[in-house]
Amino acid sequence: MSKIIVTPINTLRPSTEYGKKARTDYIRERDNSSIFTTKKSKWDDSRYNNAQIGNYFAFVHQNENKMELFKIENILPVNERPEYWNIPEHSRRNVLILSEKIGENKWSDFKEQNNYNINYKLRGTQKLNINI
C-alpha cells in the first residue's frame, strides 16, 4: 500500500487565521510555479515529519471536492523553510519538494476508493494510505 500526504486548502472562505495564511502560501506556490507546471513547488510535511521521497502528496480542496496530486521528489530539513512560512506550530516541519502536478481527482472518489468514510473531514496535514 502506498502513502499520500494530504493537506487541506480552502481558497474560497478560510475560517481561521491559519487557514488564511495557508491560502496565501498555497497561492504563492501555485503562482510561482506557473500553476504547478513549470517549477517545483514546496510545502511542509505533517507534524510527524513522516513523508518519504516517492510518496504522493495532495492539496485537498474539500469545499470544491478536488485533490491536486503530486509526488514528493525531495525532503529538506527545517532550516530550509522559507521565512514567510511563519505558522508557529509548523516551524519544526520538513520541507517537501513536489513534482509538477500529475493530476486531479475528486476528494469524494478518493475517500470511496480508499475506504475512508464519505463524511471524513481532513483536519491538518497528515499521512494517509492510498490504493494504487
**How high is the pLDDT of residue 65?**
96
| CATH assignment of the domain containing 27 | 3.10.590
State whether residue 32 is helix, strand or coil.
Answer: helix
Q: What is the pLDDT of residue 71?
A: 95
pLDDT for position 24: 86
pLDDT surpasses 80 at 98: yes
Greater model confidence, 37 or 24:
24
**The predicted structure's pLDDT at residue 120:** 94
- For the chain, how many structural domains are there in total? 1
Give me the domain span that covers residue 60: 2-130
Check residue 109 and give its pLDDT: 96
Contact partners, residue 67, CB within 8 Å, separation at least 6: 6, 58, 59, 60, 61, 104, 105, 106, 107, 110
